[in-house]
A and B are shown apart, each in its own frame.
Chain A
């Protein structure tokens, strides 16, 4: 069985986002493989190591620099990679059909993708991929195993967690708790440079959502630190919460 694991190249969580003339300036940010997508890569590798899969394909869609995220996935252990290259800003609804095409072509039965990527804070890609493929979706998995020709999993729902079973093929979104991702070793980083990475221009896809403007909100916070001994500070805090902030 082939598993396709989606990876996105996103600004580092600690990256400083600058203010530009028309909103946000990402010029100073460093980029990396998305943290949630990484849980998906790890799970794909574990399934392959357990004998449930024979091949792990890393798939990305985005500008040329996305190749770095794919190289990271290859260094972690993915077998090969495909980049659908585009400079267009496409929402997940617009991306899904093209990505689904690659999944079908690879003959994959399982797609793993992070629950929410840290650039657009969008949780839509997994569900949109499931729809484009016509497969069931298991979102926010914290446990995942292949049993026979289906998967069983535990995932988070609004009020707790639920056990879930479905036949393959399926799309699963990954998150914290699913596993502890490994670190790439130096020999594997070297090996990754020779693994196949196919770059294809993305065929025409049109956005369904357009971004008009992005800005960093300036939070107007009071930033008051209450001084004095613990009892005095606590009394002052209680008083201000009631009289100044009016939240009690």
Chain B
């Protein structure tokens, strides 16, 4: 069986769940094994998510426990390994989100298998599971093969298109997890959530990112957030901007931030340091605005405008508004 861990936020499936379904269907078909989903959460969240996701997989296993809503890696690991064992999973697939990246290695080690981590593609070749992943600060692509089974695969958010619903509605089955005391030692309490008033950074089709070249937090708000609002885009920042305290860390893109691959990425007043590029160089179309014609960002850009962001952005917003 191919078992997909399907993520949701308080019962609403995340886009990565649908991306996981697409990757999972491909593997299940190639291996000739059945496909199932696993939803973890508190009773309400798991119930809502399982109902929504039953349209995408033949079976949804639903594990409900307060420990699973709190997001503790230990409890999630226990639940995934328990279910994967009892259904005899050959492949366990999950999103390489923050939580998925913390849980997948634990599952692989406990399950005695291999881990294909943060993959941008995955397929079956001569019976083996083969994947592609970015390495060396995303400057290279490695093709890797699992040497042991079961195989745990974490899929890079945005690497697969979201799957369509199936023709038939799947079944929802409740599973009970035998937690151990050690699964609950960590106390997790949310300290602050990023404002969710706009589209989530990793799920956005358009990302507007601002750098130190904006000059200050007010100019960032006016130009970067302003253009993002016009485009219905997510807002992102470079580390220099986060370090300066203009924007929250949750918006940082790069090696130590999020990894994004939108259809359109607009980089404003940022230099294009390697650590930043590693978080956005898979974007579809890259636009750069920088006053320095030699800024490294232009090397990876599809379209560039050399100029002062504070002049170019208002002109661009006017030009976008004037498009018929």
Is A17 a contact partner of B140 (Cβ separation < 8 A)?
yes
Q: Which of A35, A138, A213, A216 contacts B186 (CB 8 A)?
A: A138
Give Cα A166 to B72, complex, Å. 11
In angstroms, Cα B110 to Cα A203, docked, is 21
Q: Which residues of B (288-321) have their CB < 8 Å from a CB of A?
A: 293, 298-307, 311-312, 315-316, 318-320
A179 at the A/B interface (Cβ < 8 Å)?
Answer: no
Size bin of chain B's contact surface: 35 or more
Tell me if B137 and A127 are in contact (CB < 8 A).
Answer: no
Which A residues from 131 to 149 make CB contacts under 8 A with B?
Answer: 131-132, 134, 136-140, 142
Instruction: Tell me which residues across on chain B come within 8 A of A124, comparing CB atoms.
Output: 101, 104-105, 115, 117
The interface residues of chain B lying within 8 Å CB-to-CB of A237 are 287, 303, 305, 316, 319
Question: Chain A residues near B187 (CB, 8 Å)?
Answer: 164-166
Which A residues lie within 8 Å of B102 (CB)? 123, 126-127, 137, 139
Residues of the B chain whose Cβ atoms lie less than 8 Å from the Cβ of A140: 98
Beta-carbon contact of B142 and A214 below 8 Å: yes
A224 interface residue per 8 A CB criterion: yes
Binds B, one of A72-80, A188-196, A227-235: A227-235
B291 to chain A minimum Cβ distance, whole angstroms, is 11
The B interface, classified by DSSP as helix, strand, loop or mixed, is mixed
Chain B residues, CB < 8 A from A215: 140-141
Q: Contact at A247–B320, with CB atoms within 8 Å?
A: no
Task: Determine whether B30 belongs to the interface, using a CB cutoff of 8 Å to chain A.
Answer: no
Interface check B86, CB cutoff 8 A: no
| CB atoms of B101 and A209 under 8 A apart | no
Further pairs besides A175-B256, A214-B142: 13, Cβ < 8 Å: A11-B136, A24-B136, A123-B117, A131-B110, A137-B74, A156-B250, A159-B194, A159-B250, A164-B188, A177-B256, A223-B298, A224-B303, A238-B319
